[in-house]
Amino acid sequence: MDPLQIQELPKLRQPTLLLAFSGWNDASSSATTAASYICEELGGAEFASIESDSFYNFQDMRPMVTLDEDGMRDITWPANTFYACETPRLANDLILFVGAEPHLQWKNFTRLILSVAQQCDVRMVVTLGALLADVYHRNAIKITGSSTDLELAARLGLKRSGYEGPTGIVGILNNLFRDEKLPAVSVWANVPHYVNVSPNPKAALALVRRLSEFLSLDVSYSDLEIGSQDFDDKVERALESNKAVKEYVDELRLRSSMEDEGESGGLPSGEDLTREIERFLRERGENHEDNGEDT
């Protein structure tokens, strides 16, 4: 059986593909929480999925058993799902993918995602991630961005990622998109390493806000804002009961207040960013039509 199961390809207008994976790329479940929140806010409709059998070691990622209201057992397997989101007020629709980083056959897995992007005429990809960092939990969550596409990076004032070392599925996908000449941006939230609990609504909120600005999405933040305030309050109460960690966090707070907030690598914000993205997608669409080429 083909692991890629497409129910019906949606009719979308030159969509952007937004990808988030649980696992190594997803500190405190920030990226998957953000993507799932946007999907729900925009009324995303499932249209395709990738079956889990070929890509996971179920001794490492065990299926979950739950009981329904009648007490019957139900088994939930790792899910990799594509959702179509129509955004009629914008020039481009959106496809969201929420999945779990696989254990096996990464090349095959990423080719399946590329296949969906090509069949849906995706014009740009945004990958989400979250990493543990030396940051103070009361500060605004720092969002960083990079792009492997030189033109898109220049337009947005981004740099190529300078990271060297082990990578996750997001890194593999970004290289694949580069090789296929599909523009991609990678957006990451920096999460305090001393509160690595899931989910982190404050980090998810920061990603949702930046993506909403980046892609001109119209979503409400109210639930995440309430969760963020409650999250910070719980962290403060936990720190009061752990003197050693509190002393470290106080030092981190003082150090962070002296650091330059204009550090390079941050994703630009504001109306200029939105206009540049819209212009890039419009020009790419026009070139696509003129050349009569497939993405």
In the chain the domains, ranked by start, together with CATH numbers, are: 4-291 (3.40.50.10900)
Whether residue 77 contacts residue 49, with contact meaning beta carbons closer than 8 Å, is answered with: no
Dist CA 256 CA 75 (whole Å): 45
Q: What string of pLDDT tens digits covers the 295 residues of the chain? A: 799 999 999 999 999 999 999 999 999 999 999 999 999 999 999 999 999 999 999 999 999 999 988 999 999 999 999 999 999 999 899 999 999 999 999 999 999 999 999 999 999 999 999 999 988 888 889 999 899 888 888 888 787 777 889 999 999 999 999 999 999 999 999 999 888 788 999 999 999 999 998 899 999 999 999 999 998 888 888 888 887 788 888 888 888 766 644 444 566 655 666 777 888 888 877 776 666 555 4
Q: What is the pTM of this model?
A: 0.88
Whether residue 204 contacts residue 266, with contact meaning beta carbons closer than 8 Å, is answered with: no
Extended beta strands in 69-183, E state: 73-76, 81-85, 94-100, 124-133, 143-147
Dist CA 283 CA 151 (whole Å): 12
Whether residue 158 contacts residue 145, with contact meaning beta carbons closer than 8 Å, is answered with: yes
Which residues are CB-contacts of 150 (< 8 A; sequence separation ≥ 6)? none
- Start-end of H helices in the chain: 30-41, 106-119, 150-156, 169-179, 201-215, 222-240, 243-258, 271-291
Q: Name which of 94, 82, 99, 101 is nearest 41 in CA terms.
A: 94
For Cα atoms 185, 41, 65, give the angle at the middle one, nearest 5 degrees. 95
Dist CA 195 CA 51 (whole Å): 33
In the numeric block, the tokens 């070392």 are attached to 165
Whether residue 114 contacts residue 238, with contact meaning beta carbons closer than 8 Å, is answered with: no
